[in-house]
A = this chain, B = another copy of it.
Amino acid sequence: MQTISGGVCAPQGFRAGGIRCGIKASSQKRDLALIVSDRPCASAALFTTNRVKAASVLVSQERLASRRCRGVIVNSGNANACTGEAGLETARRMAELAAERLGLRPEEIAVASTGVIGTPLPIAPIAAGMAELAASLRASEEGHDAALEAIMTTDTRKKGGALEVALEGVPIRIGAMVKGSGMIHPNMATMLGFITTDAAVEPEALDQALRRAVRGSFNRVSVDGDTSTNDMILIMANGAAGNPLIQARGARFERFTQALEALCAGLARSMARDGEGASRLMTVGVQGAADEDAAALLAKAVASSSLVKAACFGADANWGRVLCAMGYSGAAFDPAGVSVRFASAAGEVLVCAAGAAVPFSEERAKAILSQEEVEIRIDIARESGPGGSATVWGCDLTYDYVRINGDYRS
């Protein structure tokens, strides 16, 4: 498995592009992106669990039913959510316009949106920009970059990547881009993510691989506990690599899924690092829980706690808040068996053993917690077996989070 350049354009047969069409009226930023395969694809997607779903989500759910999407059109600056029938019409029309231009059927194009909720999304600038958007498509890192810029909102960093792995001697590639730095919570689908691969994958296998990869990556991120109306993650596989078909079991499937999960986990970590206003990446690891689900529940409660996040911002070794958050997580565990360590590039310090305080140097703890990337390592003593473990990525709660979200619409 090896990291390569090119993002979503690294896999053979994919092109991407992005332009400014004017949805973000008050800015000069790009706001319309397109990613497309030059041949038919198998596709799979996961969507927000929010009961209030954006028009783009509803339309893409219809499109994905056939598992044959080979392209996606995405706008930023407007979520097209809570926009009624007119919003659904606009989402469908976006896909139609892109399909017409590319000579494809509308059902082959998925739609995604991100931005402010409740403002009608105008179709006019999208229609007017379509020729320019199609002309911007490139099968190169340049195309990936332009598309990625066009899907970003409050993101401060570009989050994308690609890797190559050999399947029985045939190299296959997977590329991805994600946006998301707010509304991020571990209940899936808390972001926009677009993944391309030139592997030949049977649609059911692609669906299973995506679910497994997301479980250990994007579902293990929390920024502020809000789950968006618009979240969506889409994977398209066009088979251009010519590998033996990946089916839903066996060594080939495992190898593909592991590569996909590795790519997603790296991007999930980047999303937490780029959490709105975040000054620190906070990685919470739990070992010795009853099972993996319990470990994830405990780690998420800690990573999501406003009090833990504020203490992290202050580089304050307030481990009591860690135990407190574990206590209301809903997972069963013995508080008397818990030990907590803070760690970073500056070292590691044990602050709690057997559920109670141990003496430690406050000065040293402060130095450890003052790094840009810190870890909270939680071990739960067990009578037998290793138990379940999980890692969750979060970030600190800062003045900037409040500033960014206090007036996001302006």
| Residue ranges of A at the interface with B (Cβ–Cβ < 8 Å) | 49-53, 79, 81-84, 87, 116-120, 182-183, 185, 187, 224-229, 305-307, 310-311, 313-314, 316, 318-321, 323-328, 332-333, 335-336, 352, 354-357, 397-399, 401-410
Contact = CB atoms under 8 A, between A and B. Distances in A.
A407 B314 contact: yes
19 contacts: A51-B333, A52-B324, A52-B327, A52-B355, A82-B355, A117-B318, A118-B319, A118-B320, A118-B357, A119-B357, A225-B306, A226-B325, A227-B328, A229-B324, A306-B306, A310-B402, A313-B406, A318-B408, A401-B402
Nearest to A225: B306
Given A227-B327, A229-B327, 17 more contacts: A50-B328, A51-B327, A51-B333, A82-B356, A117-B318, A117-B321, A117-B324, A182-B307, A226-B324, A226-B325, A227-B328, A310-B401, A311-B406, A314-B405, A318-B409, A399-B402, A402-B402
Among A50, A79, A319, A327, which residue has the most Cβ atoms of chain B within 10 A? A327
Q: Which 5 A-B pairs have the closest CB atoms?
A: A117-B320, A314-B406, A52-B327, A310-B405, A50-B327
A85 to B, nearest CB: 9
Nearest to A406: B314
Contacts of A228: 324
Q: How many copies does the complex hold?
A: 2
Given A318-B408, A335-B52, A399-B402, A83 B224 contact: no
Contacts of A399: 399, 402-403
Contacts of A402: 310, 313, 397-399, 401-402
Q: Which secondary structure dominates where chain A touches chain B?
A: loop
A326 B325 CA distance: 23
Contacts of A224: 306-307
A84 B356 contact: yes
A333 B52 CA distance: 10
A335 B185 CA distance: 21
Contact of A328 (B120, B226, B320, B333): B226
A187 to B, nearest CB: 7
B405 A50 contact: no
Contact of A187 (B307, B328, B406, B407): B328
Contact of A406 (B83, B316, B324, B357): B316
A167 B316 CA distance: 52
A409 B53 CA distance: 42
Contact of A225 (B119, B225, B406, B407): B225
